[in-house]
Every structure is written in C-alpha cells, then in structure tokens.
Amino acid sequence: MTEGYKEFATYNGLNFIKNYAELKKYEAIAFDIDGTLIDSRVSYNETIYQTVSMFYQWVVGFKPPKDEINSSVARLRLTGGFNNDWDTAYTILMGLYSGFPDEILKVLSFTDYKFFKDYIKVKVNKESLIETSIKALNYLLMYADSKGLQSIEEGLKKLYNKKDKLNYLIKIKEKLNYPNLPRKSLLSTVFEELYLGMDLFKETWQAEPVFKIKKGFIEDEKVVLENDVKTFLKKKFGNKIGIASGRPKKAAVKILKDLLGNFFNPESSFFIDDVYARSKEQWLGKPNPFLIEQVIKNLNVKSCLYVGDSYEDILMVKNTRELGYEVGFVGVYGFSLDVKNFIQKFMEADADAIIPSVNDLKFLF
C-alpha cells in the first residue's frame, strides 16, 4: 500500500511522503478549507444527514439510519465528483426515494412542497422501508463517479428505464428544483438554513429564512491550524499563502476571522462566490482548475503546493497541471469518514504527501 512513500509518525498519526526535495521547491502554498483548515465533520456531515432526514421524515414520519447515510457520504467523496455537499444530499435523497413503493412516489411527485408545514406520513412498515430504501441507495451509488450529478442521473435511467418509478423521480426532482441555489431550490435552501442559521443565511443569500433556525451547524466548526505551524509557514512562504475553496466567502470569514488578511493573502483567496460569478457556459467549481489558477496568477508564481482533503482536490491539481502550471498536492486525511480508503486513493493518485493533519506540514519541508 505504501510503496514509493516514506512513512513516519507524529502525534497526529502516520505521515507519507514521496520526496522531500520536491516539496521544498514550491514558491507558494494554497489551502482548501473544509476538512483541511477546519474540522467540519460535525457541521457538514450533520447538515447532510439532517437535510436528507427532513425530506425522508416528511414522507414517512421517521428518519433513515445515520450510519448508513454517513457511509454513503464517504463513498461519494471518494469518487471525485461530489465536492458540493448539496449534490451529496440530493444524491442520497434520490437514492432513498428510489426505494419507496411507486404508490408513495406517485403521491410525492404531485405534492406541493410547502416547506414541511405538514408531514405526509404515509403508512408503511418502518423496518421494511428502511431496508428497501437503503438497498436502493446502494444500487444508485454504484453508478456514482467523477462526473458527479451526471453519473447519478445516468444511473437512475439505467436502473429504472421505462418504469413509472423513473417518471415519478423526475417529477420529484422538478419539485425540488435541483440543482439550483437557495431561494430557488427547496433542497439547497433547507441545507443552507441548517448549516448557516437564520442570520448568516440571510446575510449570505439575501433571502428571508424559512425555518428560523437560530444556531446553524457552522457554529460547531473550529480552525485546527496551530500557531507554531502558522509561524513556520509564514516564514517559509511569506505573503504567498492563498485559499482555493468551495466554501462561500462569508462562511469562510465567520470561521477564519482575521486569519484572512493576517495570514492568508486576501487578494489570492478564492471561494465559491468567485465560481458563481465566473461560471457562464462552463461550471468552474472543483475539479475544474479555475480556483488554483486564480491563486497562482494573483500570487504571480510559477509553482504552488495545494493542501486539500478530497479526491476532487487532487483531480483539480491534475487538471491545473495540464494547463502547464507546476502544482503539488498534499492530502489531509484526519477528518475523513473513511481514513483507510482515502489514504489509498491519495496514493493511487500520486499525491506528493499524505498527512493526518494540516499541522504536520511543518515536518515536510
């Protein structure tokens, strides 16, 4: 498993590195945020589960098993096509719904979604429905790959071609109006309200919250970057430290606070807001090279090391290299739901180093 990598242990866990000399050559460094700079396991994973649960419970009156949902999240993150947690929540929900009997889906496909004011609560056998919906979810996840939502739509068509179930699922998707932004899509609205809470939701999306959730799961997040590591990185890279993240800027500022300016170069920090602003004919989010390319251009460097926690991150690095840029990759696995498989994936993708925590960067140079 570790062929080609030097292995050493720190208090955070096992570290794997290919070549110390190669890592020393980079002029700049850029970071992902979630799962890298921030422990977002509780916030994002819980938001995914609660979003899926609201839609599931609305129909049948009980929640799906949390361990199965977390397992599905881990599987999707290994594909390289699900950096957006809205997409993850949507995929899991459609997988679960596809296990519902057609008579339930028919009712659901013609139901006006009024923000869960009343549960439909159809009568079902709880154990039986959970079993069939989880089985259907696992069938759908077999089709998930780096194409993201496209692979899911293709999977649904292959599984339920020429069946009423497919037509019902298509109508349900239309009701959800997904993919789309909060205010337009019920699913992304629910997700963002649960994650941000009502005040930050209103500030971020310029819309009135529906559920009036005072405390979002974002409040459970914490920055894990230690002071001695910040000092070390600042000494090595100076002002050439940027961010390339799929997180909204306002949500990033709330958690990073004055680090964005005092540590990270604000002119070379890019977020999902920049992706939305520039995506016209082509989606520029991960694994598109857009975010890293902007960091490199604004830092005016020839080489950059990127630190991230997902398979999309290393795909983004590879896509950036194809444009002629010299970019290295360090994978952080400590907050993964499936540590063993993430390490394996990073190795198969030829990561320059694989570390348990961003704080182990000080041992790489």
Gap between the Cα atoms of 265 and 120, Å rounded? 50
CATH 3.40.50.1000 fits 6-39+222-363, yes or no: yes
Give the model's pLDDT for residue 115. Answer: 45
Structure confidence at residue 108 (pLDDT): 84
Task: Please report, as a single letter, which amino acid is at residue 83.
Answer: N
Phi, psi of 359 (to 5 degrees): -75, -10
Count the alpha carbons within 13 Å of 10 in the hemisphere toward its beta carbon: 15
Q: How many CB atoms lie within 10 A of CB 188?
A: 25
Chain-centroid distance, C-alpha 246 = 8
DSSP-based three-state secondary structure for 78: coil
pLDDT in tens, the chain (365 residues): 577 999 999 999 999 999 999 999 999 999 999 999 999 888 999 999 999 999 999 888 899 999 999 999 999 999 999 989 999 999 999 999 999 999 989 888 877 665 444 556 667 899 999 999 999 999 999 999 999 999 999 999 999 999 999 999 999 999 899 999 998 999 999 999 999 999 999 999 998 888 889 999 999 999 999 999 999 999 999 999 999 999 999 999 999 999 999 999 999 999 999 998 998 878 899 999 999 999 999 999 999 999 999 999 999 999 999 999 999 999 999 999 899 999 999 999 999 999 999 999 999 99
Res 118: pLDDT: 52
Where are the chain's structural domains? 6-39+222-363, 41-217
Phi, psi values for residue 252, rounded to 5°: -70, -45
Overall pTM surpassing 0.85 (yes/no): yes
Q: What are 239's two structure tokens?
A: 């002002």
Give yes or no for a contact between 17 and 5, defined as CB atoms under 8 angstroms apart.
yes
| Residue environment code for 301-324, b if the CB has 16+ CB neighbours within 10 A, otherwise e | beebbbbbbbbbbbbbbebbeeee
> If phi over 0 gives left and psi between -120 and 50 gives alpha, with beta otherwise, what is residue 162?
left
In the chain, how long is the greatest CA-to-CA distance?
64
Could you check whether the bond before residue 179 is cis, i.e. omega within 30 degrees of 0? yes
What is the C-alpha separation between 198 and 221, in angstroms, rounded?
Answer: 17
Q: Record the tokens describing residue 295, joined without a space.
A: 């960091």
**C-alpha triplet 71, 139, 176: angle, nearest 5°:** 80
Nearest to 149 by CA among 195, 192, 93: 93
Beta bridge partners of 307: 31, 330
What is the β-pairing status of strands 13-17 and 353-355?
Answer: antiparallel
